[in-house]
A and B are shown apart, each in its own frame.
Chain A
């Protein structure tokens, strides 16, 4: 009897020991996450409703005043429009190209790893450096693109310096950069489609296109939702290439995006309250878009990511 009790006690002691180890192993991570993510996120939402003076250190509750003010700013409203245009063109185009490349790459063949590497390379290289290269190719007088255009008899625009073309140029760079990671997710999804499905279709005498439209495409739906949401969240937060390619919001403010306005408000003018209110609006956009796309594509996204 006592022996059993002793054993139980020992077990409980061991359990307590394990829990203590777990707490110790988790502590650094939890502290870091609360410190650098938890508190900042909550602060953004609080600061959006305050009039906070970073120099005086004073704060005053102003309700929705900050939001009323930012929406009376034409440049901010334009930046929302630019962000929408940028996302609207960048995400679907890059997704279609990525899906096509992934389907083509999902065949065993020679040089496959090299093709995959070529499409993925833009993603692993620094945006700043690569944006400079595109800037050089977009150079209106001596750049590569206008020289190529002239060979076919077209006089190229001034690209990044032309208000009508600056956003297009930024979108082209972003599509090029965005194909790789989308392609990889599609490729992983394609490889997880069970082979038996195709074998069964073969037995039924299904043609290649029929298999593609009846098996491949429907089974890519969850991956498409996942890619769409992740790409949209990314696109809404585009900053590096916009900052480098078209400094100061671009010609005639034609490429200023929401993140650039937040950057300007917070770190150009040190107007923390305005920047926080703008960040909350950006967050709201992302929430709404995520919910809408979830509705549109059904709720079967849970098994893709893990």
Chain B
């Protein structure tokens, strides 16, 4: 065979393997969407029909009638946006200070941030719950944090503990570190204050870091399950993932509605990911940590 022919058949084989693999990977998503618009007879049919006999889009509004998915959605969105905004502000400031300002204890604090990145969830989650429960003066607590429920079942518990990730600080520091020193010196000669240099000169130059941190924070927050499951009890404060789990426990066999709910819970992230792949890839490749 000529080299060109081998090259071409190699390409073909490559596309064949990757194409088949990709198809296998998205089977669950396809099956979710197809099942979400099937009628009862199609769902119960055996062997299952691949395509629905009628495309029952009304499953979506009906599923939303079974459980307040609108509320769940709004809650998840509020929390994800809140976490993203807070993480961007707090982590960028900290990352900047660690990267660009010399002060005693800087190495120690950076080492602390690195260590905290590696702390497993289960080494902190129980005390986190206890801390949320015993915030003084909230939820009927006295000044020692006793007697009431503190932040449990409130927006505080849903937003504050997850508002900062050590990884975001780390990522911002790496990006600020790479900026040339001349920039801040020029701004300083122009009489700009230190905070102004951070906010108006340096931060506009780390847009990729902003995008990466924003997307990873949003994703982590939207998909988070355990913490909202622990700290919320009332239906009005449930997030999509917890609401979906509760819905499943209540309506075990309503597969079409369950698939519609799953589709609603996953589609925002899928769309966001497909449009911003580059930053996701960058973020996960630099750390590989959620």
Tell me if B181 counts as interface (CB < 8 A to partner A): no
What are 18 A-B contacts defined by CB distance under 8 Å? A26-B97, A36-B164, A37-B166, A39-B127, A115-B21, A119-B22, A124-B280, A126-B240, A126-B266, A129-B261, A132-B259, A132-B261, A142-B46, A142-B48, A150-B47, A187-B281, A276-B126, A286-B120
CB atoms of B121 and A125 under 8 A apart: no
Fill in one digit per residue for A113-135: 1 if any B CB lies within 8 Å of its CB, else 0: 11111111111111111101111
Tell me if A176 counts as interface (CB < 8 A to partner B): yes
Given known A25-B94, A25-B198, contact A128–B244 (CB-CB < 8 A): yes
Which residue of chain B has its CB nearest to the CB of A46? Answer: B127
Tell me if B1 counts as interface (CB < 8 A to partner A): no
CB atoms of B223 and A125 under 8 A apart: yes
- Chain B residues within 8 Å of A94, by CB: none
- Chain A residues within 8 Å of B118, by CB: 233
Fill in one digit per residue for A129-157: 1 if any B CB lies within 8 Å of its CB, else 0: 11011111101011110010011000000
- Chain B residues within 8 Å of A266, by CB: 125-126, 129
- Chain B residues within 8 Å of A263, by CB: 226
User: Which B positions have Cβ atoms within 8 angstroms of A?
Assistant: 11, 14-15, 17-19, 21-23, 25-26, 28-29, 31-32, 35, 43-48, 90-91, 93-94, 96-98, 101, 103, 109, 112-113, 116, 118-131, 146, 160-161, 163-164, 166, 169, 174, 193-195, 198, 219, 222-223, 225-226, 230, 240-242, 244-245, 248-249, 255, 258-259, 261-263, 265-266, 269-270, 273-274, 277, 280-281, 284-290
* Cβ of A192 to closest chain B Cβ, rounded Å: 10
- Chain B residues within 8 Å of A147, by CB: 46-48
CB atoms of B285 and A185 under 8 A apart: yes
CB atoms of B11 and A109 under 8 A apart: yes
Contact segment of A68-76, A236-244, A291-299: A236-244
Tell me if A272 counts as interface (CB < 8 A to partner B): yes
CB atoms of B109 and A282 under 8 A apart: no
Tell me if A207 counts as interface (CB < 8 A to partner B): no
* Cβ of B152 to closest chain A Cβ, rounded Å: 11
For the A-B complex, the count of residue pairs with Cβ-Cβ distances under 8 Å equals 272
Bound Cα distance A107, B216 (Å): 27
B11, B270, B285: the one contacting A121 at CB < 8 Å is B270
- Chain B residues within 8 Å of A128, by CB: 223, 225, 241-242, 244-245, 265
Tell me if A214 counts as interface (CB < 8 A to partner B): no
- Chain B residues within 8 Å of A188, by CB: 285-286
- Chain B residues within 8 Å of A107, by CB: 14
Bound Cα distance A262, B129 (Å): 13
CB atoms of A44 and B46 under 8 A apart: no
- Chain B residues within 8 Å of A286, by CB: 120
CB atoms of B270 and A305 under 8 A apart: no
A44, A119, A144, A184: the one contacting B126 at CB < 8 Å is A44
* Cβ of A37 to closest chain B Cβ, rounded Å: 5
A25, A115, A127, A230: the one contacting B19 at CB < 8 Å is A115
CB atoms of A226 and B126 under 8 A apart: no
CB atoms of A37 and B124 under 8 A apart: yes
B101, B127, B163, B269: the one contacting A125 at CB < 8 Å is B269
CB atoms of B127 and A132 under 8 A apart: no
Tell me if A29 counts as interface (CB < 8 A to partner B): yes
CB atoms of A129 and B241 under 8 A apart: yes
A121, A122, A237: the one contacting B120 at CB < 8 Å is A237
CB atoms of A33 and B166 under 8 A apart: yes
- Chain A residues within 8 Å of B109, by CB: 26, 30
Bound Cα distance A143, B253 (Å): 12
- Chain A residues within 8 Å of B258, by CB: 132, 136
Bound Cα distance A175, B16 (Å): 21
